[in-house]
Amino acid sequence: MGGLGRSATMNAIDLQTVLSESLQAGTLISVVLSKPTGDDAIKKVTGRPIQIRDESMFQLALRSGNQETHENISIDELTNRLAGWFPDRFANCHLFTNSADYQFELRRGGEIKSLRSRPTKKLKSAEHNRSKNYLIPEGTPCAFLEAIDVMTRSGKVRKARYSKFRQINRFLEFIDDVLEELPLDEIRVVDFGCGKSYLTLAMHHFFRNIRGVDCHILGLDLKKSVIEDCQRIAERLNLEGLEFRVGDIASHQQDERVDLVVALHACDTATDATLAQSIRWNARVILSVPCCQHELNAQMTAATVPGITEHGILRDRLAAITTDALRAKLLEIHGYQTQVMEFIDMEHTAKNLLIRAIRSNSNNQLARQQDEYAKLKQLLGIDTFALEKLLAELSEEKPSA
Ligand SMILES: C[S@@+](CC[C@H](N)C(=O)[O-])C[C@H]1O[C@@H](n2cnc3c(N)ncnc32)[C@H](O)[C@@H]1O
């Protein structure tokens, strides 16, 4: 349909075809329905694409008189609504796409005229942010993502799995940033609380197929059935260097060297067990995104920080922030350069932090860090802290080792 001069009359094209093609290509900019056919209270409808938590949706503005109401609907729902609105309730429907404007008009006698003309609107990048260059790109078929139902065979990311796709890619970016800290011949990784192994499989793909480095990755989880599923996928895809085991992070024994420990949303104190094990093995890099954190909340009262902890939600957030701050400080005390970073935006606030710790060879700040750790605990009335206890047990273990 190239070579648009002036408006062209196009009787062969129908609204649903233009709609589904432009939605699929991501080129739809807006939809406008006008000229109500009856005495409908709604005189005009305008719709535009929006992203809500990584999901592509449509925002409708429904105008009646001077009032405008808004509604966010799914893409499927948009298709249904449009079929009901045009031509039964509105005589005019405009579709603005990146490549052309389309006008559909109900004429007297029931005939529908369609016109296609030069595009008058431009798609803004904020309206369509899917073109980001991910390490595992969208649009290219990827066997493991297909196996875990994140992508279709043709490489399209399933709408419902987009946030997982983005989360995995974000985590890989953090790994890519620390690649020079890891060995070049074979990287040995432990993924604690691997769950359905989205990240485990993604790391395997990333090291072997994207960066061309050999790796051995162990995924560990408490749930037997989940681990059996992971094993089946690894076997089906014939993936070497991947191992899955059922087990508890805290009691997991590891004789082999560990270069990188990752934990994505390991629940509550499972993150502390992850950090303690990593320190025990002297892992070179730790990347941990904590999950729910209940331990310190129980030790804070309304009077701990007057004005803040008297509000339940603020106490909850302060407890979560303090937990990660104390974890970071303990990692520093144990010789890790540590940063607490934003993992991903638009996530639940309590789950969007990443603790990145890189083993350093010297620590000449030990006394200052110990002092800061003690002061922070005292300031917030903390008696016991899981990671501190685990590390104390570790140092009791060491002399006899
Ligand atoms: C929220 S899921 C995250 C799964 C996966 N890392 C991801 O992000 O897709 C947390 C997982 O940690 C596992 N888990 C929690 N505590 C654990 C522990 N102490 N030892 C091993 N696995 C644990 C759970 O069984 C669950 O599969």
Per-10-residue mean pLDDT, the chain, length 401: 36 80 84 92 87 72 78 87 92 92 91 89 55 79 94 91 90 93 94 97 94 95 97 95 97 95 92 97 96 89 95 94 96 96 66 92 88 96 96 78 41
Q: Does one domain contain both 304 and 370?
A: yes
Confidence (pLDDT) at 2: 34
Q: Does one domain contain both 307 and 374?
A: yes
pTM for this entry:
0.70
Q: Point out the domain boundary residue: 121, 155, 184.
A: 121
pLDDT per residue as tens digits for the range 192-240: 999 999 999 999 999 999 889 999 999 999 999 999 999 999 999 999 9
Considering the domain boundaries, does residue 134 fall inside one?
no
The response to whether residue 267 sits with its C-beta less than 6 Å from ligand 1 reads yes
Burial readout 289-323 (b: 16 or more C-beta within 10 A, e: otherwise): bbbebebbbebbeeebbeeebeeeeebbbbbbbbb
Considering the domain boundaries, does residue 2 fall inside one?
no
| Total number of domains constituting the chain | 2
Q: Does one domain contain both 147 and 84?
A: no
Q: Does one domain contain both 98 and 233?
A: no
Q: Does one domain contain both 96 and 174?
A: no
Q: What is the 273 CA–ligand 1 centroid distance (Å)? A: 12
Round to whole Å and give the CA distance between 299 and 326: 14
The response to whether residue 230 sits with its C-beta less than 6 Å from ligand 1 reads no
The response to whether residue 151 sits with its C-beta less than 6 Å from ligand 1 reads no
The response to whether residue 296 sits with its C-beta less than 6 Å from ligand 1 reads no
Percent of the chain beyond pLDDT 70?
A: 90
Q: Does one domain contain both 229 and 335?
A: yes
The response to whether residue 344 sits with its C-beta less than 6 Å from ligand 1 reads no
Burial of residue 90 (CB within 10 Å: 0-12, 13-18, 19+) is: buried
Per the CB < 8 A criterion, the answer to whether 324 and 290 are in contact is yes
Q: Does one domain contain both 272 and 324?
A: yes
Q: Does one domain contain both 218 and 75?
A: no
Confidence (pLDDT) at 51: 67
CATH of the domain at 272: 3.40.50.150
Residue 265: domain span = 143-400
Considering the domain boundaries, does residue 130 fall inside one?
no
Atom 25, ligand 1: which residue's CA is nearest? 222
Considering the domain boundaries, does residue 377 fall inside one?
yes
| Most distant CA pair in the chain, distance | 94
Q: Does one domain contain both 153 and 113?
A: no
Q: Does one domain contain both 182 and 100?
A: no
Considering the domain boundaries, does residue 149 fall inside one?
yes
Q: Does one domain contain both 213 and 324?
A: yes
Q: What is the 192 CA–ligand 1 centroid distance (Å)? A: 7
Q: Does one domain contain both 44 and 95?
A: yes
Confidence (pLDDT) at 82: 93
